[in-house]
Amino acid sequence: MRRSTPDKADPAFLDEKTARKQAERQILLDALSGRLEAEAIEWTAGTAIPPEMLASPRIRLRQWNEADCAPFAALNADPVVMEHFPATLTRGQSDATVERLRASIDRQGWGFWAADDLTGGEPRFAGFVGINIPQADLPFQPCVEVGWRLARPFWGKGLASEGARLSLRVGFELLGLEEIVAMTQLRNVRSRAVMERLGMQEAVGEEFEHPAVPVGSHARAMCLYRLKRPVGS
């Protein structure tokens, strides 16, 4: 008998889908780490990352919360912050991004974390920094990328680089990845400078057109940087 189409509102179907996604992600991580045995992955989804790995005296990376939505929408609506993206985001698009990033961290334990600036008295939400499996169909997949987006008052303080160093440690030491990449629009000088501060190497000749960006957009032409796992980590 032909199987009926699953009801997407059915909790059983949702569980099956989540389980399948987790299994696929684990296989991807195994491949990324260059190991075939699932047990060779040092960290498994659901295990909390030690908070001290996600914080320095100046920046803290954490799961998203409701209070982040308004300041995140404000930075996504800033044309200067979004200069190298196809467009600024509406409040709805920004909130949907928070939900996607939050769900991804919930599911796999890591992702693009909300970042707090700790350099003032009270922690202040600054944007995001973290590691992520890109969703778009990119020519260099499978990969884990390191990425960042901060509101303008938090630029020029070294926070993106500091948060990225914490993220890279998680990727190399906890997840056991062999390589982490970063990508940005060719003319995004500030983002490329972060990649260079991190010791990433530009993959010359691997420039590509981002498949999720509309043809003709200035934001489509991308460059790629790569960083190998440091010896001994």
> Which two structure tokens, joined as six digits, stand for 27?
């296989």
Residue nearest to ligand COA (CB): 158
According to the 3-state scheme, what is the secondary structure of 28-63? HHHHHCCCCCHHHCCCCCCCCCCHHHHECCCEEEEC
> What contacts 85, CB < 8 A, 6 or more positions away?
185, 219
Q: Among 29, 146, 160, 227, indicate the residue that binds ligand COA (CB under 6 A).
A: 160
Q: Among 56, 63, 161, 217, indicate the residue that binds ligand COA (CB under 6 A).
A: 161
Question: Rounded to whole angstroms, how far apart are CA atoms 51 and 116?
Answer: 13
The 8-class DSSP code of residue 79 comes to T
Q: Which stretch binds ligand COA (CB under 6 A): 37-45, 49-57, 152-160, 166-174?
A: 152-160
Q: Among 35, 124, 197, 210, indicate the residue that binds ligand COA (CB under 6 A).
A: 197
Q: How many residues bind ligand COA (CB under 6 A)?
A: 19
How far is the CA of 145 from the CAs of 10, 20, 192, in angstroms?
33, 22, 14
Taking residues 67 to 96 in sequence order and writing x for each that binds ligand COA by CB under 6 A, - otherwise, the string is --------------x--x------------
Q: By C-beta, is 97 or 184 nearer to ligand COA? A: 184
Q: By C-beta, is 56 or 63 nearer to ligand COA? A: 56
The 8-class DSSP code of residue 15 comes to H
156 binds ligand COA (CB under 6 A): yes
Angle between helices 91-108 and 11-32 (to 10 degrees): 70
Q: By C-beta, is 32 or 150 nearer to ligand COA? A: 150
Question: Rounded to whole angstroms, how far apart are CA atoms 120 and 105?
Answer: 27
Cα angle 160-190-197, degrees, rounded to a multiple of 5: 60
Q: List the interface residues with ligand COA, window 163-192 (CB under 6 A).
A: 184, 188, 190-191
Contact positions vs ligand COA (CB under 6 A): 81, 84, 147-150, 155-161, 184, 188, 190-191, 194, 197
